[in-house]
Homo-oligomer: A and B are copies of this chain.
Amino acid sequence: MSSRLRGLETIRALIVAIGLVAGSSPAFSSPVEVREAVEGYIARHEMEIVRELWEALSIPAVASDAENIRRKAIFLQERLERRGFSSEILETEGNPLVYGDLRVEGAEKTLLFYAHYDGQPVDGSKWAQEDPFQPVLRAGRLEDAARVLDLADQTGLDDDARIYARCASDDTAPIIALLAALDALAAAGRQPTANIRVLFDGEEEAGSPSLVSAIERYRDRLDADLLLIIDGPLHPSDLPTVVHGARGILTLELTVYGPRVPAHSGHYGNWVPNPAMRLAQLLASMKDDEGRVTVAGFYDGIDLSPADRSVLDLVPDDLEELERALGFTGADTVGESLQEAIQYPSLNVRGLHSAWVGGEARTIVPDQAVAALDLRLVRETPADDLYSKVLAHIRGQGYHVVGDDPTDEERSAYPRIVKLLRSAGSEAYRTPIDHPQALRVHRALADMWGVPPVVKRTSGGTVPIAPFVRLLGLPALGLPTVNYDNNQHSPNENIRIGHLRRSIVTMAAMLMME
């Protein structure tokens, strides 16, 4: 890790874009001093920090388990109060939010940290350990058969050690890191440069259904100059990472109809239209050979400035390695790179189904064929807008569009029928790449780590918090800190101890930001 960080410092000379001038800025009176103080504190209090995380991870925290979720909320509230926060359990239509407010004398700015304290549902049978909510400490990676350690026997931990538990990286470690950073600063006699507010969500992994309606009720508590979302893994390069937005999503389901029931392909093939072929033709009409969407106006309004492009170019993706890892060659060319590609909305066939394949295949003309699509949205392409364009395209292909299975009358009236279902959709958000609050964060990270952060103009994925961010109207940045290989959303989720340490330092950088 640190050798990788050092290696990457050599590219710093090349990087002089959008205020990302590293090392020379006076953003901290002395970032090195802060870092040394925090790292010293971590070294002295390591087992305390790990035990607090361990305790937090021992509370089952799946959104559907309201009772245990509330236990974890109360646990966190109490831990915030220990650090001098004025803390509340904010009731919502669903699981409670944990809120904390720490006023700093003389501070002119306010930072709002968002994280979620629930975790993905677990399938215990797929985990190496008995119970995903009984943390297990290992000397290294499970995949490398690292041995299990007894926490009670440890007096210090190697950077490569890992704690395995649901929520470990996503997001309980960042929450504990934030608390530890506050402790480290307090121990050094320093106080944050801004008022600190925290909001911990108890149902993010269930889509944060109560978050938007909570704004109305608790808007006054949520005011801030900047929202920092301390969720997600670092860029695969392991460099400090800042994420300016996330794509939204709209899902569609298309069902094309053939005969009312499957028809004998011998008796009727060549005569009864085949819905699987029709669906293939309809889908094929939506993209060209290079993977670019051919639906009229699909990419309208997207204009990448030279500054945007240089930010994209600076993301150190190793695309050759990524192709090897994913097992393909020859990417689609919606953009010139992966980073450019995700600046555009996508149209992805995420599933196909018609009758049977393999040993189950039968000699029939299927009665219907279904395609499940997801469209990733960007700031310039709202869900309703893209939906209208896709709908117009489908109609342009001669289809009668219905919302339910067609009636006999519709079957007799229209040669081409498609049922089109859509989700409500979740919009994208994006904070401008040169927003003053963002530039502060870039600079603070660069100063703290001696290397400019990877700045992602948008993440390709979608986050439940996006509607919240849009409604709140704050500049918002994703600040991921955990190891890329944390098995987020999968069995054997973990946090690497070295990354826990780095998370604490990064949180301190935010707390001390000028």
Q: A411-B329, A461-B266 are in contact. Are A354 and B351 (CB under 8 A)?
A: yes
Residues of B within 8 A of A272 (CB): 326, 328, 331-332
A186 interface residue (CB < 8 Å to B): no
Interface centre among A273, A326, A350, A460, by most chain B C-beta atoms within 10 angstroms, is A350
A475 interface residue (CB < 8 Å to B): no
Q: How far is the CA of A281 from the CA of B247 in the complex (A)?
A: 26
Residues 343-370 of A contacting B (Cβ, < 8 Å): 344, 346, 348-358, 360-366, 369-370
User: B376 to A334, Cβ gap below 8 A?
Assistant: no
Could you tell me the distance in whole angstroms from the C-beta of A499 to the nearest C-beta in chain B? 20
Q: How far is the CA of A356 from the CA of B370 in the complex (A)?
A: 10
A371 interface residue (CB < 8 Å to B): yes
Interface centre among A272, A279, A331, A341, by most chain B C-beta atoms within 10 angstroms, is A272
A84 interface residue (CB < 8 Å to B): no
The residue from B259, B276, B342, B354 contacting A328, defined by CB atoms under 8 A apart: B259
Interface residues on A, range: 35 or more
Residues of B within 8 A of A328 (CB): 257-260, 272-273, 411, 415
Residues of B within 8 A of A289 (CB): 281
Could you tell me the distance in whole angstroms from the C-beta of A236 to the nearest C-beta in chain B? 10
Interface centre among A270, A279, A346, A351, by most chain B C-beta atoms within 10 angstroms, is A270
A330 interface residue (CB < 8 Å to B): yes
Residues of B within 8 A of A277 (CB): 283-284, 287, 291, 348-349
User: B415 to A348, Cβ gap below 8 A?
Assistant: no
A327 interface residue (CB < 8 Å to B): yes
Residues of B within 8 A of A269 (CB): 342, 346, 348, 374, 376, 460
User: A280 to B350, Cβ gap below 8 A?
Assistant: no
User: A350 to B364, Cβ gap below 8 A?
Assistant: yes
Could you tell me the distance in whole angstroms from the C-beta of A342 to the nearest C-beta in chain B? 6
User: B370 to A358, Cβ gap below 8 A?
Assistant: yes
User: B259 to A341, Cβ gap below 8 A?
Assistant: no
Binary per-residue interface labels of chain A (242-282) against chain B in the complex, 1 for a CB within 8 Å, 0 otherwise: 00000101010100011111011111111111101101110
Residues 303-353 of A contacting B (Cβ, < 8 Å): 323-324, 326-332, 334-335, 338, 341-342, 344, 346, 348-353
User: B265 to A374, Cβ gap below 8 A?
Assistant: yes
Residues of B within 8 A of A284 (CB): 277, 280-281, 283-285
Residues of B within 8 A of A291 (CB): 270, 273-274, 277
User: B260 to A327, Cβ gap below 8 A?
Assistant: yes
Interface centre among A269, A291, A349, A371, by most chain B C-beta atoms within 10 angstroms, is A269
A220 interface residue (CB < 8 Å to B): no
Residues of B within 8 A of A326 (CB): 259-260, 263, 268, 272
Residues of B within 8 A of A331 (CB): 271-273
A459 interface residue (CB < 8 Å to B): yes
User: A276 to B376, Cβ gap below 8 A?
Assistant: no
Q: How far is the CA of A280 from the CA of B356 in the complex (A)?
A: 16
A122 interface residue (CB < 8 Å to B): no
Residues of B within 8 A of A353 (CB): 352-354, 356-358
Q: How far is the CA of A281 from the CA of B332 in the complex (A)?
A: 14
Q: A332-B270, A338-B271 are in contact. Are A264 and B352 (CB under 8 A)?
A: no
Residues 229-251 of A contacting B (Cβ, < 8 Å): 247, 249, 251
Q: A273-B332, A281-B284, A349-B274 are in contact. Are A376 and B460 (CB under 8 A)?
A: no
Q: How far is the CA of A408 from the CA of B328 in the complex (A)?
A: 8
Q: A268-B338, A272-B332 are in contact. Are A372 and B350 (CB under 8 A)?
A: no
A462 interface residue (CB < 8 Å to B): yes
User: A271 to B352, Cβ gap below 8 A?
Assistant: no
A414 interface residue (CB < 8 Å to B): yes
A413 interface residue (CB < 8 Å to B): yes
Residues of B within 8 A of A462 (CB): 266, 363
User: B461 to A264, Cβ gap below 8 A?
Assistant: yes
Residues of B within 8 A of A29 (CB): none
A412 interface residue (CB < 8 Å to B): yes
A292, closest chain B residue (CB)? B270
Q: What would 6 A/B residue contacts be, using CB atoms closer than 8 Å?
A: A260-B327, A271-B331, A277-B291, A350-B362, A358-B370, A361-B372
Further contacts, 20 of them, CB under 8 A, given A266-B459, A353-B358: A249-B363, A257-B328, A260-B326, A260-B328, A265-B346, A265-B348, A266-B342, A266-B462, A268-B338, A268-B460, A269-B348, A269-B460, A273-B330, A276-B349, A276-B371, A281-B283, A284-B284, A330-B415, A350-B364, A351-B360
A-side residues, CB < 8 A to B, are 247, 249, 251, 253, 257-261, 263-274, 276-277, 279-281, 283-285, 287, 289, 291, 323-324, 326-332, 334-335, 338, 341-342, 344, 346, 348-358, 360-366, 369-372, 374, 376, 408, 411-416, 459-462
